[in-house]
Amino acid sequence: MAATLLTPLELLLKYDKPVPRYTSYPTAAAFTDAVGESQLRTQLGRPSEAPLSLYVHVPFCRHACWYCGCNRVTTQRGSKVVAPYLATLARELELVTAAMPRRRRLAQLHWGGGTPNYLNAEEQRQLWQLIERHFELEDDLEASIEVNPEFLSRDQALQLRELGFRRISFGIQDANPEVQKAVNRVVAVEQLRRSMQWLREAAFDSINVDLICGLPLQTPERFGLTLELVQELRPDRISLFSFAYLPEQLPLQRRIAADDLPSQRERIAMLENANRQLSHHGYDAIGMDHYALRGDALAVAARNGSLHRNFQGYTTGGELELLGVGPTAISQFSHLTCQNERSLRAWSSAVEAGRLPVERGVAVREAAVLERRELIKEVMCHFQVELDLARFGLEWAELQVLADDGLVQLSQAEGVGRVRVTTEGRWLIRSIAAVLDPEQRRRASGSRLV
């Protein structure tokens, strides 16, 4: 007699444990200050004709959203802080490109934050031209940017597209006014509608919206209305994150009363309803917290096996080296991952002293670790993996439990175990990948699913 499969709610309760997002392996928990400028300088000095992916961190925000765990500088000073930031960024790019044997091409470009549209029109153009000065931009450059819709205008949307951005993302989080007030992020529904209208008018290739489940004063009913708005706006991609309440680590979150947070079962009900609604309305689940319309390049890449994952999340850019500039930016290469100084002051001081502003990172050349990185990537991006059963017997036994819950399908032949993630399993993809991570077995880290 076949076992009765657990409901999505029961599955989330069962697997609600801390797990990394696996934007890298080893994860950021393994970063140490033993990795610094010299390792990045050596890496940049290796000759390569392959194109790069460039991430630019713009740290400024006009006000602080109380849920936020990003590295940002809250200020109303506008160009008075942007001008010295851009001057320092120009110097960092000079240091980076001087360390390279030849001028590199860019296949991908992403501006994140902070709030990249904190920069005015002239500052945005200045930053774009600064990048053009140091890199060759490919004709089909996949350029993306994050914006705060509260401060978006029609003119800005059109200008960003004219500069060369093809993909854009903005945060909704929750459309309910009471929830917005409880996290100090108030954007009227009509402004959200106008923002989407302007972005469509500007003809961006792909538009993403961010949602957060588990915010204070959020209820399944209120979040249901936010989902209705999302269905009306119909973005190409959706990032649906579960709020991690960490007031000990993130002082801003102390302004959120723990009693105002929804219960675990309410959060699960919201996530389950979101998954059901989005799947019903033409979105494919690309891992637990990403969805894309079936015709979007991200969903197509998930189907044809060309999906990639790095510190920017899921991308279609393949195995590109990632170079990060700006405070807290992360660079990611085959054997090296490193992070810039996280404070604006420390980053600026390092650059002004003529140093590549690396604060910490991890270097990996051990074959066993690199093998596990590939296995985790196969699970996270291609939703399948093959294992040598003689060496991965413990993991195979754990996968049997996931198979009993309908998250994976298993088969084996001639000592090789084949794992295929089911449609239901994609929703809990991080938990499946964690089976292949021995560090998780020794000491769980990361954020909880709910």
Each residue of 289-326: pLDDT tens digit?
Answer: 899 999 999 999 988 888 888 887 888 866 799 999 99
Domain 367-439 belongs to what topology? Arc Repressor Mutant, subunit A (1.10.10)
Backbone angles phi, psi at 2, to 5 degrees: -65, 145
In this prediction, residue 1 has a pLDDT band, given cuts at 50, 70 and 90, of very low
pLDDT score at 317:
65
Residue 449 has pLDDT above 80, yes or no: no
Residue 2 has pLDDT above 60, yes or no: no
Q: Beginning with the edge strand found earlier in the chain, give each strand of the sheet holding 321-325 in spatial order.
A: 283-285, 290-293, 237-242, 206-213, 167-173, 136-147, 105-113, 52-58, 321-325, 330-332, 336-340, 358-363
Fold of 23-325: pyruvate-formate lyase- activating enzyme (3.80.30)
Model pLDDT for residues 105-153, shown as the tens digit of each residue = 999 999 999 999 999 999 999 999 999 999 999 999 999 999 999 999 9
Answer whether residue 103 shows pLDDT above 70: yes
Q: What is the pLDDT of residues 332-355, one digit of tens each?
A: 999 999 999 999 999 999 999 999
pLDDT confidence tier of residue 104, bands split at 50, 70 and 90: very high
Mean pLDDT of 28-48: 96
**What is the per-residue pLDDT across 429-443, written as a single tens digit (0 to 9) for each?**
999 999 999 988 888
Residue 60: strand pairing partners: 73
User: Which pLDDT score, from 0 to 100, does residue 3 have?
Assistant: 59
Sketch the domain layout of the chain as residue ranges: 23-325, 367-439
| pLDDT tens digits along 204-227 | 999 999 999 999 999 999 999 999
**At a CB cut-off of 8 Å and minimum separation 6, what does 441 contact?**
none
CA atoms within 13 A on the CB side of 275: 23
- What does the mean pLDDT of the chain come to? 94
